[in-house]
Structure 1
């Protein structure tokens, strides 16, 4: 009977993530390819075997894949190591109340990590941190392909909790513990950005508070910069330019901006976007020049975190300038920066391309170029237009402005037909 008992923990996790057997098999195949470089061969039948409890302890590669996808250990997923009897309650290696306390907030995690359990003899090293940081690179890559999605946010939170749980699983040097806190903060800041990008601002504020505490525990200047810079962006999107400026100033005053001009450049570029929100049009060219000059001084070969390397470059600087001038009502300059941004964007920056194109269409329409603006907006794929909250909102605003600017025009009719096709395809 024990060998056929259903794996209720695994089944509950699948239900929570809304996985079918086939969709999980597809995700597992992709995860195995990322891990080994070879496509996986899982299918729905194998997933049903795991769920039914007929496979009590999958092989090492499968366990690693499922742990990476879930942010949980194989034991937490209900699998039973060989030689052990099936559990009748929660796995004995971890007190459930202690686990809930550990993942509730980073401060509780810090207290637990300061005095790791005496029964554990495992040595946590930088190789453990490195495996988590590879998962962070995957989260960043997913964000650039299809940013703002709740599943990216949840995966980032799960991985942050995994980093915190690792803190309490054995002994580690101060350097390793600091790196684990920095990694957890990185994941939380990615969850924060996904929530901002999806316009889930209340969730973003919660992630921000967790991330700020973790960053302080880590002492890592780069992740502190990222979180405070994101906080500035959060408040800007919420229409609170004074709070946005204050948060961005915290980032800009960190020592890392004096050590590495690339951080100084990003701080100035985001300051420019805040100035646009505050309608400080006169100061925008000077701020752009300062950001450009700092970028030109940056050492191209310097070591920088993966999140910065993945997105901040000439294209992003022009994107933030586009945002600033569009907010300030300088349509022609906004259009100039839009074209510069789109010309410089790297291929993997899909989300950024759709956002820049949406803003380009708004700038063109504001100048009365109805046909060109409609053509630009129609270049955005239906998936981005219907599933990315920020793009969808901008295109709704574009449609309303188009109908107000050119009611009954051929472009307005074309746009209406185009968006109707989106709804059908969605």
Structure 2
């Protein structure tokens, strides 16, 4: 059988800036963390993946690549083999997690050493760095099952650290907070991917871990995510109740930035309930709170990585779209795109799709189609929320301008993208 080039892997490597040598080194290192034995890949191995001569990596290499990329092997273009009795057994992720954690944190002492290892804040810092990687993957891709799975696995890894040695109360609380952070990221990836059942399961575990940590910031994140989840599910009363829990935490009184986020998300919930006046008031209060927030405060990465004036405009775009106030929605959409930071790739795609709809509903058909075509191909075909928005856009375009040259252009565009 002729080899079929793996275009998905090649595209991902180009996007991330990996050479074959660099990716081989990265996978070898990850395999070493997972199994205790460094991988044996070189640049020719990666070229074999890209050319299709090797249709699927071995299980250890596959698991390492999924952890690095935040994507599944299938999403990276590999063809998973059906296991026979002569083939290698599949990698058990939890076994890998335990092995990786022990290897990473055991130092020179072997696993059977009589004296338990002391787990400290340096170990917590290593875990937190991996949380930063998850946040970065989410802002690039968003909603991907691979990110959800990777975040859930890292939550388990943080919990394994509780069992490999002794630790102070502060360290244990920090490990629980890290595990809760990873779970909340898994929850968010599931929400963004419209997998609400999975999101609810992650939420329950995240809430338990957050209580064990005693960390108010991660409690805020989880309950605020819950509010967003219920809003997307069309349950505004539960959304408001969940977001009220987040807004009722003491840190919203101490730090106006948290207060601002709570208010902005509550404005979107008011829109889902159809309360136009409450939407306007809450967004005004959110901006006032943001103006009071000092830049010198130490805040968690998950907050500073996304929440700013552009995010308020993004939520306003969503809210006024729900209310059918398309002109106001369009104005917020333009402001959001002008203020988005470069790493907010997922947010740019969502905002662009919403802006196109706002223009279309005002009869600006040519501008709307041009805007919609500006959504990246990866997001249009691969992000569940963006794909759904563009499908709705296409349906409304056919209703508003049936048979027009713009509708024909959009139809041809979607065929090329395979949306």
TM range (shorter): 0.7 to 0.9
Deviation at 1:45, TM superposition (A): 4.3
Work out the CA distance in 2 between the residues paired with 1:252 and 1:203: 25
Local SS of the residue matching 1:337: helix
1:258 alignment counterpart: 253
Deviation at 1:29, TM superposition (A): 3.8
Aligned residues: 342
Structure 1 residues 68 and 284: CA distance shift in structure 2, 3 A: closer
TM-score by length of 2: 0.76
1:97-153 per-residue CA deviation (whole Å, 9 max, x = no partner) reads xx8xxxxxxxxxxxxxxxxx9955100000110000000000000000000111111
Deviation at 1:33, TM superposition (A): 10
Deviation at 1:223, TM superposition (A): 0.2
1:221-245 per-residue CA deviation (whole Å, 9 max, x = no partner) reads 0000000000000001111100000
Deviation at 1:42, TM superposition (A): 3.6
Match runs of 1:271-420 below 5 Å: 271-420=266-415
2:124 alignment counterpart: 129
Local SS of the residue matching 1:199: coil
Contact map agreement 2:28 2:41 (CA 8 A) in 1: no
Say which of 182, 199, 205 aligns to 2:194: 199
Contact map agreement 1:28 1:66 (CA 8 A) in 2: no
Deviation at 1:368, TM superposition (A): 1.1
Work out the CA distance in 2 between the residues paired with 1:47 and 1:339: 42
What's the Cα RMSD here?
3.0
2:231 alignment counterpart: 236
TM-score by length of 1: 0.75
Structure 1, unmatched stretches of 5+, are 1-21, 35-39, 49-61, 72-94, 100-116
1:185 alignment counterpart: 180
Local SS of the residue matching 1:308: helix
Work out the CA distance in 2 between the residues paired with 1:26 and 1:415: 39
1:267-315 per-residue CA deviation (whole Å, 9 max, x = no partner) reads 0000011111111112222111100000000110100000001000010
Structure 2, unmatched stretches of 5+, are 1-17, 31-39, 49-60, 71-93, 99-111
Matched, 1:222 2:221: no
1:194-228 per-residue CA deviation (whole Å, 9 max, x = no partner) reads 00111111100000000000000000000000000
Structure 1 residues 355 and 45: CA distance shift in structure 2, 3 A: closer
Structure 1 residues 210 and 380: CA distance shift in structure 2, 3 A: same
The runs of 4+ residues in structure 1 deviating greater than 6 Å are: 22-26, 31-34, 65-68
Structure 1 residues 388 and 217: CA distance shift in structure 2, 3 A: same
1:91 alignment counterpart: none
Contact map agreement 2:337 2:348 (CA 8 A) in 1: yes
Work out the CA distance in 2 between the residues paired with 1:136 and 1:193: 13
Of 334-343 and 117-126, more deviation after overlay is shown by 117-126
Deviation at 1:43, TM superposition (A): 3.3
Work out the CA distance in 2 between the residues paired with 1:198 and 1:27: 27
Contact map agreement 1:70 1:155 (CA 8 A) in 2: no
Work out the CA distance in 1 between the residues paired with 2:19 and 2:305: 28
Structure 1 residues 255 and 322: CA distance shift in structure 2, 3 A: same
